Amino acid sequence: MTISVARTAISIPVRGLSWLGDQGTRAIAALVVFGIAIPPLGAMLRPYVTEAIFLLLCISFMRVDLIALRDHLRRPGLIVAATAWTTIGVPLIFGLIAHLTGFDTRAPGLFLALMLQAIASPMMASPAIAALMGLDATLVLVTLVTSTALVPFTASLFAALFLSGTLDISPLALGLKLLAILAGSLLVATAIRWIFGADAIQRHRRPIDGVNILILFVFVAAVMGHVIADFLANPVLSIAVAALSFAVFFALLIVTTLLFRRIGYEQALALGLMVSQRNLGLMLAATSGALPAFTWLYFALTQFPYYVAPQMLTPIARRLTAKTETSRTASATSTS
């Protein structure tokens, strides 16, 4: 009887987490709404952003498909090119344009936000989002892993080049903190995979998704908590910053897709999606949130294109996928 009661007590929250995990993008959209609508909750959760990002990284590393990772590493040329573009090309272009136009001195808060966005690694959720859109997520996954491994070194380099005196943390300390967060989460994820096994993690995918969404809420609420107050204080500025966040997102998406179009527009679009979605939470964790209010505002409003654009682009992605499948079928038929 006692065992039955214990099992029931455990199964109820597991079912709840499974249901939450099944909601997918709808749950993420709801998180944004709740984060905006309940500002006091954001203020209460803001001190825990670093811990939330660490746990999100643990879950992401825990679920990496190691077989797919090994298979794709057999084509290192494309991986090197994509990794170099997202870790070196993007921040270098951002920094040079800002420096040459004097934007870094005219709008230091916005420049800091843009540079932190540029030097960040791609979002850990990028492969999952690409898969939900019907795109091949394998290339995205491998590039994500390689660029994330490099970001402690590239971030400290570009922080030294372009953010000297702007950040409250030194470039070296930034790199070391990023390394500690990433290495620590990888070690925890590896331990979990070793103890429970990859099969068990796959079987419990739905409740794990639910846990992921709950932890993500801490980050979303902390970042979005002041959006309404900022909008009421200066609606024109808030709209302008939101428009800029969409412009940066689509600029990175389009440029990356065009740069890699020779590998096929389906994979190029997947890479473009990855490059345009930067892990701003990792930058918040590395800086302990010690950033100007304007930088926080930009980070908050950047969440909108991150979660809205994939919905907008899904019909295009599905057409590209269907076109690719048709070409493969025709090629296989002609060969046989």
Query: What is the per-residue pLDDT across 8-35, written as a single tens digit (0 to 9) for each?
Result: 445 557 676 777 666 665 666 677 777 7
Alpha-carbon span 122 to 25, nearest angstrom: 18
Tally of domains in the chain: 1
CB 188 within 8 Å of CB 172: no
97-100 LR contacts (CB < 8 Å, sep 24+): 98/162, 99/162
For residues 259-287, average pLDDT: 87
Question: Which amino acid is residue 57, in one-letter code?
Answer: L
**Residue 265 in domain:** yes
DSSP-assigned beta bridge partners for residue 122: 278
Alpha-carbon span 56 to 211, nearest angstrom: 9
pLDDT value for 68 = 64
**Residue 7 in domain:** no
Q: Where are the alpha helices (DSSP H) in the chain?
A: 2-22, 25-37, 39-45, 49-62, 66-72, 76-84, 90-101, 103-106, 108-119, 126-132, 138-162, 171-196, 198-203, 205-224, 227-233, 235-259, 265-276, 280-286, 293-335
**Residue 207 in domain:** yes
Count CB atoms within 10 A of the CB of residue 216: 21
Alpha-carbon span 210 to 22, nearest angstrom: 8
**Residue 194 in domain:** yes
Helix (H) / strand (E) containing 275 = helix 265-276
Using a 10 angstrom Cβ sphere, with 0-12 exposed, 13-18 middle and 19 or more buried, the burial of residue 268 is buried
Task: Quickly tell me which residue has 């000297």 as its tokens.
Answer: 164
pLDDT value for 8 = 46
CB 44 within 8 Å of CB 226: no
pLDDT in tens, 130-184: 766 777 767 887 888 888 889 999 999 998 888 877 777 787 888 888 888 888 8
Which range of residues forms the domain containing residue 304? 26-321
Which of 17, 64, 43, 42 minimizes the C-alpha distance to 182? 64
CB 270 within 8 Å of CB 130: yes
**Residue 124 in domain:** yes
pLDDT value for 72 = 64
pLDDT in tens, 79-91: 899 999 999 999 9
**Residue 297 in domain:** yes
Among 56-60, 105-109, 125-129, 151-155, the least confident range: 125-129
CB 257 within 8 Å of CB 275: no
CB 49 within 8 Å of CB 281: yes
Alpha-carbon span 40 to 216, nearest angstrom: 17
Residue 278 tokens read as 């930067």
How does residue 330 score in pLDDT terms, banded at 50, 70 and 90? low
**Residue 166 in domain:** yes
Count CB atoms within 10 A of the CB of residue 263: 16
For residues 238-245, average pLDDT: 92
Which of 161, 156, 32, 27 minimizes the C-alpha distance to 93? 161
CB 282 within 8 Å of CB 120: yes
- What's the predicted TM-score (pTM) here? 0.78
How does residue 276 score in pLDDT terms, banded at 50, 70 and 90? very high
CATH code of 160's domain: 1.20.1530.20
The angle at the Cα of 189, spanning 42 to 81, to the nearest 5 degrees, equals 90
For residues 255-277, average pLDDT: 90
